[in-house]
Amino acid sequence: MTDSIRDRLKATGEDAEQTTPVSHGEHPVGDPTVSTHHSYHAELDPAAAKSAERAVAALFLLSVVGVFGFIATFIFWPFDFGEKNFEFYTPLLGIFMTLALCGLGAGAILWAKTLMVDEETVQERHHLASADEDKEGAVAILKEGAADSGLGNYPILRRSFLLANGALGLLVVPLLFGMGRFQHKEKVMATTGWRKGSRLLDELGRPVKLGDLEVGGVKSVFPDVPGGRRMADSAALIIRMRPEVLKTRESRKDWVVDGHVAYSVICTHLGCPVKLYEQQTHHLFCPCHQSTFDAADSAKVLFGPAARNLPQLALAVDDEGYFVAQGDFNEPVGPSYWERKPHYADKVK
């Protein structure tokens, strides 16, 4: 067996990618300590080879079993949501697919490790860098071609060619800008759906009335405008606490109704909804990056990477006892951006 491999290798001997099997007695690299891999096949006696063959075949057959198991499960196992045992559908498919794949894989590996001839072989590396004459030749060809093109001789051609290439890149610019709608960025960024007199609707679209909330209660609210429930920048949270715990600043005295305050839920850090309210401490917590705001004190930042208070919604109560907004939030909601003006909303009003 080994001999026939030697013959085969000899046949490739004149190739640049010369390979030489290593074995004791021959030291192709002149090292007396060269060791050799086992030629597994040669070491197996016929009985051992037979048993290895059977093990490999068993694994291959296991793979076939896996394939049929997969097909049977796929067709016959209950699949529809809620049907008896449907929850085992995917796990069973997984198990049979694993059998199919790993049976074949393990069989192949065992085959290669026990029955295939795998002699350690030495192959010379070819030198990667080109010979000097090739390098010089390449440079000469490029130089000659550059000269032949005439770019060096015709300055107007050269400049106009470069200009045309540069200008071609500009084609991308309008296409790029066409990707976005032309919007008044400052305005759309700084304003939300809230208007003066908008009622506060809860998640089911019912207006929130004074007295709906217990002390310590919170409710997600949305502006009473078409599509207000889905507006990504308008969601707010109305919170009721005991009036004496509220540290209302002088300028915000009129924004509070009987211990009720409302803040934007859009985090001023990266825009996640800040809706985890801790009743005891009056903290609002953002689950994304843990910015913590003090709901009792203008939603100022207590901890985390957010830099600014949550914008506040000035509250009032209309004739029928429903909460309404006095206008938009006091500041643009959500994360910071380059053109952000803190008091844009005032200017619009």
Partner 1 sequence: MASFGEKAAGGTGKWVDDRLGSANFVRRSMNKVFPDHWSFMLGEVALYSFIMLLLTGTYLTLFFEGSSKEVLYDGSYTPLKGIPMTAAYASTLDISFDVRGGLIMRQMHHWAALLFMAAIVVHLARVFFTGAFRKPRELNWVMGVGLFVLGLVEGFAGYSLPDDLLSGTGLRIAYSIALSIPVIGTWAAFLVFGGEYPGGQIIERLYPIHILLVPGIILALISVHMGLVWYQKHTQFASPGRTENNVVGSRFFPAMMTKMAGFNMMVFGVIALLGGLAQINPIWLYGPYDPSQVSAGSQPDWYIGFLDGSTRLMPNWELRFWDYTFSPNVLLPTQVLPGVLFGLLAIYPFLEAKLTGDKGYHNILDRPRDKPVRTALGAMAITFYVVLLLAGGNDIIASIFHLSINEITYALRAGLFILPIVAYFVTKRACLSLQRFDDDLLHHGIESGTIRRLPSGEFVEDTVPLPSQYAVLLETTPERKELAAHNAHRLEGAQTAVATKPRGFFRPKGGAPKDDQKQLES
Site for partner 1 in 230-259 (CB under 8 A): 230-233, 235
Do 333 and 267 meet the contact criterion of CB atoms below 8 Å apart? no
Query: Which member of 4, 183, 251, 280 binds partner 1 (CB under 8 A)?
Result: 183
Q: State the Cα torsion 81-86-90-91 to the nearest 10°.
A: 150
| Residue number with CB closer to partner 1 (86 or 161) | 86
Q: Binding to partner 1 by residue 262, rule CB under 8 A? A: no
Tell me how far, at minimum, the Cβ of 203 lies from partner 1, in Å: 8
Type of residue numbered 223: P
Backbone angles phi, psi at 203, to 5 degrees: -65, -20
123 binds partner 1 (CB under 8 A): yes
Burial class for 53, CB neighbours closer than 10 Å (0-12, 13-18, 19+)? middle
9 binds partner 1 (CB under 8 A): yes
User: What's the Cα-to-Cα distance from 152 to each of 136, 156, 159, 193, rounded to whole Å?
Assistant: 21, 10, 11, 63
33 binding partner 1? (CB under 8 A): yes
3-class DSSP assignment, residue 12: coil
Contacts (CB under 8 A) with partner 1, residues 160-179: 176-177, 179
Cβ-based nearer residue to partner 1, 46 or 338: 338
Per DSSP, the three-state class of 147 is helix
Which stretch, 136-144, 155-163, 206-214, 304-312, contacts partner 1 (CB under 8 A)?
304-312
In the complex, the smallest distance separating the C-beta of residue 285 from partner 1, rounded to whole angstroms, is 9
Dist. CA 198–CA 95, nearest whole Å? 57
Rounded to the nearest whole angstrom, what is the least distance from the CB of residue 281 to partner 1 in the complex? 12
The label of the residue with tokens 């078409």 reads 226
Q: Is 109 in the site for partner 1 (CB under 8 A)?
A: yes
Number of residues that bind partner 1 (CB under 8 A): 96
Give me 240's structure tokens. Answer: 């009721």
With beta carbons less than 8 A apart as the criterion, state whether 345 and 330 touch: yes
Site for partner 1 in 57-96 (CB under 8 A): 74, 79-82, 89-95
Per CB under 8 A, does 275 bind partner 1?
yes
Query: How many Cβ atoms are within 10 Å of 168's Cβ, its own excluded?
Result: 9
Note whether 44 binds partner 1 by CB under 8 A: no
> Least CB distance from residue 343 to partner 1, whole Å?
11
Give min distance, CB of 158 to partner 1, in A.
Answer: 32
Q: For residue 327, state whether it binds partner 1 (rule: CB under 8 A).
A: no
